[in-house]
Amino acid sequence: MATPTTALPLLATTTTLLLLLSILNNVQSKPSNNDDDFGTSLDPSKALGGRMKREKLSHLRLYWHDVVSGPNPTAVMVTSPNRTSASGFGTVIMIDDALTLGPDLKRSKVVGRAQGLYAVASQTEVGLIMAMNFAFIEGKYNGSSISIMGRNRVFTKVREMPIVGGSGLFRFARGYVQASTHTVNLKTGDAVVEYNVYVLHY
Ligand SMILES: *[C@@H]1O[C@H](CO)[C@@H](O)[C@H](O)[C@H]1NC(C)=O
Ligand SMILES: *[C@@H]1O[C@H](CO)[C@@H](O)[C@H](O)[C@H]1NC(C)=O
């Protein structure tokens, strides 16, 4: 069904579009008196400035720096369980970790930050639940982000976690990441993890 919204200029900003949609919905809902009809079908081929015609698979290789020691840690424990277990079950850590192009934090370019948290979700092994956004600050991905939510058994060689969505250039994102530990400093607990990101987006 053709709706008045399909005639809107394609260059309208998202804010303007949403504003107009809400006005149109208000106007339309009054005569029909149908409050259930609050969604509108849009043509996917015209969405995202025409970019939705072609889905892309991108691979990004990044290094994730979990700094727990020193004066400026980027990973901090926010709660720990009252009852201790060997796995640390219940520990919650909030992160704002640098994402770089190379494994050396001092020498390589920071292209984004991994912001979110991880928590020990297993009572029998160091098995984490990770919920984090890769927020990019460089190049064409600047301002875009990828959301990752998954299980991370840190002593396994390769851990796979789903990409559950994204923003900006990563709108409608899906895919997975593979994490493998690059180095761990056993004295400080600081860790560098290689992330290979495989993301489908438009
Ligand atoms: C923590 O554990 C101790 C000892 O079992 C107990 O006395 C205390 O009430 C617990 N605190 C909380 C906040 O649960
Ligand atoms: C990334 O985007 C922000 C906000 O638009 C801008 O201030 C910043 O200069 C950009 N960084 C790069 C490296 O282009």
The CATH number given to whatever domain includes residue 166 is 2.40.480.10
Index of the ligand 2 atom closest to the CA of residue 142: 1
Q: Which ligand is nearest to the CA of 135?
A: 2
Query: Is 139 close to ligand 2, i.e. is its CB under 6 Å away?
Result: no
Same domain, residue pair 133 and 34? no
Q: How far is CA 15 from CA 22, 88, 107, in A?
A: 11, 45, 40
Same domain, residue pair 127 and 178? yes
Q: Name the residue with the closest Cα to ligand 2, atom 12.
A: 138
What pLDDT is recorded for position 110?
A: 98
What pLDDT is recorded for position 34?
A: 75
Q: Name the residue with the closest Cα to ligand 2, atom 14.
A: 138
Q: Do residues 100 and 107 touch, judged by C-beta distance below 8 A?
A: no
**Nearest to residue 129, comparing CAs of 149, 155, 159, 158?**
149
Q: What is the dihedral of CA 114, 110, 160, 53, to 10 degrees?
A: 90
What pLDDT is recorded for position 51?
A: 87
If one counts the domains in the chain, the total is 2
From CA 175, how far away is CA 193, in angstroms rounded?
A: 19
Index of the ligand 2 atom closest to the CA of residue 143: 2
What pLDDT is recorded for position 8?
A: 42
The helix/strand/coil state of 43 is coil
Same domain, residue pair 71 and 121? yes
Query: Is 44 close to ligand 2, i.e. is its CB under 6 Å away?
Result: no
In a domain, 47, yes or no: no
Q: Do residues 112 and 95 touch, judged by C-beta distance below 8 A?
A: no
Fill in the amino acid letter for 77: M
Query: Is 104 close to ligand 2, i.e. is its CB under 6 Å away?
Result: no
Same domain, residue pair 187 and 108? yes
Same domain, residue pair 87 and 115? yes
Mean pLDDT, the chain cut into blocks of 10 residues (202 residues total): 44 49 49 76 89 92 98 97 92 98 97 98 96 98 98 97 98 98 96 98 96
Same domain, residue pair 136 and 171? yes
From CA 189, how far away is CA 180, in angstroms rounded?
A: 16
In a domain, 48, yes or no: no
Same domain, residue pair 68 and 142? yes
What pLDDT is recorded for position 6?
A: 44
Query: Is 109 close to ligand 2, i.e. is its CB under 6 Å away?
Result: no
From CA 79, how far away is CA 161, in angstroms rounded?
A: 24
Alpha-helical runs (H) found in the chain = 14-32
Vertex 154, ends 115 and 158: CA angle to 5°? 95
In a domain, 128, yes or no: yes
Range of the domain at 124: 56-201
Query: Is 142 close to ligand 2, i.e. is its CB under 6 Å away?
Result: yes
In a domain, 24, yes or no: yes
What pLDDT is recorded for position 22?
A: 54
